[in-house]
Amino acid sequence: MKVVQGTLDYLVLKTLSVEGVKHGFEILEWILATTDGALEIEEGSLYPALHRMEKRGLIEATWGVSPKGRRAKYYGLSALGERELVAEEKRWASCVEAVGKIAVAGPGS
């Protein structure tokens, strides 16, 4: 399943909140594994999002070496990113609650 537009930033922030500092491919792997393969994010979507989020100050990046010995950019949550995550979680909880009400509605509701 493709990720709903507007959710990628939240997924990245949540990943970094739970997992700590990760490079891009690790972020993709964690989201895929955590959703039992239901959410598949393409690298072509992730990396522009990471750069945008870094420019906005939501995440911080440092260069390091991946477990495979390759140079990789590692991303971590900034203080601003932590605050944004809290706000996004509230928005998502409201959205899930609203959609849940529609999902259980019957005829004549």
Residue spans per domain, the chain: 8-103
Angle formed at CA 82 by CA 36 and CA 61, multiple of 5 degrees: 80
The contacts of residue 1 (CB under 8 Å, 6+ apart) are: 38, 39, 40
The most confident of 13-17, 65-69, 97-101, by mean pLDDT: 13-17
Would you state the CATH architecture of domain 8-103?
Orthogonal Bundle (1.10)
- List C-alpha distances in Å: 35 to 1, 11, 58, 59, 69: 10, 11, 23, 22, 28
* The model's pTM: 0.87
Q: Is the pLDDT of residue 64 over 80?
A: yes
Q: pLDDT band at residue 29, thresholds of 50, 70 and 90?
A: very high
For the segment 31-58, the average pLDDT, to the nearest whole number, is: 94
pLDDT band with cut points at 50, 70 and 90 for residue 108: confident
Distance, in Å, from the CA atom of 19 to the CA atom of 48, rounded to the nearest integer, reads 21
Average pLDDT over residues 55-73: 94
Query: Is 90 exceeded by the pLDDT of residue 21?
Result: yes
Residue 4: pLDDT over 90 = no
CA 97, CA 70: separation in Å to the nearest integer?
A: 43
DSSP classification of residue 62: E
